[in-house]
Amino acid sequence: MDKPAHRRMRPLLGTFVEIAVRAPEPLAETAIASAFATIEQIQRHMSFHDADSDLSRINLHAWRRPVSVSSDIYRVLCHARHISRRSNGLFDISIGGRLVAEGRLPDHGFPALDAEGWDALELLPRLRVRLKRPVVLTLDGIAKGYAVDCAVQTLFTHGITRGLVNAGGDLRLFGPDALPIAVREASGAITPLGEWSNTAMATSAVGLSAEDQARFPSCIVTPHGCDGLACPHFNQCPRAWTVLADEAWRADALTKVAALAPEAGRSARIARLGGRLIAHDFGRGE
């Protein structure tokens, strides 16, 4: 397609979510509205800020008793655990306590902020979740990508075959058309990455300046306590990692693995986990 026929953007998931489809007008409008509704629902279930979300109920109560959750958060937790295990804990959703302690996330009265470890998560039958000890989960590293996948599924169910969903850089393209993709560098410059079709892509950055942190609120912390600029991996900051995968949740999660993995064998490690690392210069062009 030259250009998607219908393109909409809404502020969701803490960023700007764009949905574009190529389809006749009434169908396109209905499908886009429905896909946004899907994302809104995921936002409600997985919000860390909302004390009543499924995620907050897990964080507050699941260390005492199993908590029943929606199927979407259950699936995200399955995906997260899978990547955590396969990456030897480089990807870890149990770092919420540290982010709360640092003031990056709100404190809803969690029982403990110093415990971590993805292995605390137990997924029980019938969509129930238990924590073996009181860790605080955050889905910031995977939920946006997952929301993109769900929005694409919603578009499929409406019969849309060509389009894209982009949640602030976690994007997925589907259909036969090759679309131009670019990466926003820390300087604001836009670097073209060529044309792509039928793929998901995500980019995460580390070592941003305080000013850029306000604009790009992403924050990658290591599971083992070396943060940001203090980390030996980050001596070339700011840096960003862009990963391609079939699904957006995987691309999203694997950018964190890429950011935290040692230089040697990084690409191979991402490939083993189902992604493809794309090298580009982030923010050092100017």
Partner 1 sequence: MREFASLLIIPLAAFVVAPAHATEYLSVEQAQKALFPEAERFVLAPVLLTEEQRDAITDKAGVKQRWEKQDVWRAEKGGQLLGWFIVDNVVGKHEFITYAAALLPEGKVRGVEIMIFKETHGDQIREASWRKTLEGKTLADPFKLDKDVPNISGATLSCRNVMSGVKRLLVLQQLVLPSS
Shortest Å distance, C-beta 81 to partner 1: 23
84: contact with partner 1 by CB under 8 A? no
Residue 262's identity, in one-letter code, is P
Tell me if 173 contacts partner 1 by CB under 8 A.
Answer: yes
Q: Quick one: 188 or 265, whose CB is closer to partner 1?
A: 188
Q: Is 240 one of the binding residues for partner 1 (CB under 8 A)?
A: yes
Question: Please, what is the minimum distance in Å from the beta carbon of residue 35 to partner 1?
Answer: 14
Minimum CB distance to partner 1, residue 133 (Å): 30
Asked if 14 is part of the footprint of partner 1 (rule: CB under 8 A), the reply reads: yes
* CB of 31 closer than 8 Å to CB of 23: yes
User: Could you tell me the maximum CA-CA distance found in the chain, to the nearest angstrom?
Assistant: 55
If one asks whether residue 187 binds partner 1 (CB under 8 A), the answer comes out as yes
Q: Which of 60, 99, 136, 208 binds partner 1 (CB under 8 A)?
A: 208
Yes or no: say if 132 and 109 are a contact pair by the CB < 8 Å rule.
no
Query: Within 10 A of 226 (CB to CB), how many other CB atoms are there?
Result: 14
Q: What is the DSSP string of 111-177?
A: S-SS---GGGEEEETTTEEEESS--B---TTTHHHHHHHHHHHHHHHTT--SEEEEETTEEEEESS-
Judged by CB under 8 A, which stretch of 57-65, 75-83, 84-92, 199-207 contacts partner 1?
Answer: 199-207
Task: Verify binding: residue 189, partner 1, rule CB under 8 A.
Answer: yes
Neighbours of 27 (CB within 10 A): 14
**Which one, of 104, 105, 127, lies nearest residue 50 by Cα?**
105
One character per residue 151-170, x = contact with partner 1 (rule: CB under 8 A): -------------x-xxxxx
Q: Which of 43, 47, 218, 222 binds partner 1 (CB under 8 A)?
A: 218
